[in-house]
Structure 1
Amino acid sequence: MVEDVAAAIGPDRSLLILDDDEAFRRRLARAMEKRGFEPVMAESVAEGLRIVESAPPAFAVVDLRLEDGNGLDVVEALRAGRDTARIVVLTGYGAIATAVAAVKVGATDYLSKPADADDVTAALLAQKAVKPPPPENPMSADRVRWEHIQRVFELCDRNVSETARRLNMHRRTLQRILAKRSPK
């Protein structure tokens, strides 16, 4: 399979990985390198823009929300610098409005986190007319709900009352959910 991926990539194997989660960024870079890409990593919009301006890559994986701004700024700059670039936007905040915005500014595809290297590779190399196959192991609805609650909880600085208010949920119900292990 790795040989097939390497052949599909083409001669320019440059890949920008823009994500502020260092562990995820490094893990994805190692996995993509094994698949034949030549990854360059960045953790901020400013750093991503510098890379795009100096040498626009053929491929990019861009996180939507970064500490210093919005990853869509980098998508727009890359699309302007290299209109053939294949760009996948990753986000932990999956919503139809953000997916539409990402595609409008030039993203090739849009994936919700957690996405693995196989998902990212398939999205980067997919032909425009071909729909990607459904995931082999999709998350259960319970797991998706749990991930969303955990994300909001972290965004609220682990404040149970604030999280419950934002999720329109009773505080005690939220506490019970947070006390349980994550569903499979």
Structure 2
Amino acid sequence: MSMKVNPPVLSNDKTYERYKQELLAWCEITNLEKGKQGIAVALSLPEQEKLRIRERVFDELTTDQLKAENGLTVLITILDKHLGKDELVDSLEKYEDFEDFKWKETQSITEYISDFDSKYSKIVKKNMTLLPEILAFKLLKCANISKDERMLVLTGMNYERKDTLYEQAKVSLKKFKGSASGGKDSLENSSDFKLEPTFLAEN
């Protein structure tokens, strides 16, 4: 099914990787014939920016190249050359962004989990994955919760079901650390949940 949709816009607040992803999605739904897609996208590129990417495109490609059946593919190759990152460097940056991520005081626990998921999804796309139990424990560690809070969150998780442990951790963390609507309640200040020394000793 095709639709009349303008090509995505490349802007300063959008990474090239995201722009390219949107561009490929646009190709799947546009009703614009292939011979016009390259030119349409080239003309949608910004002019007033440091790299002057539209100028570079028209300097390196002819109109005939852009209006060919593979015009958009050729254009993307040029964009990759000027805007794309080295695959290894990009993978390292995404891994470090995930590895260094921790909960911030300005975030609700729901926002923290959402950001954690987003950063993990980016490294999964680079073929880097963690076992569910490792991912669950990292989620708790990076949440900057106290030992008592962590022990209480663990009571809501079943370690025998390792394949779903990460999903369990998210549900339990939301339950005990903050509401799903974005509350920032701390267990340390909650009168509803108290861990007694005997409970900790037994668990």
Instruction: Say which one has the larger Rg.
Output: 2
Q: What band does the TM-score fall into relative to the shorter chain?
A: under 0.3
TM-score normalised by the chain length of structure 1: 0.25
Structure number with the higher strand fraction is 1
Q: TM-score normalised to the size of structure 2? A: 0.24
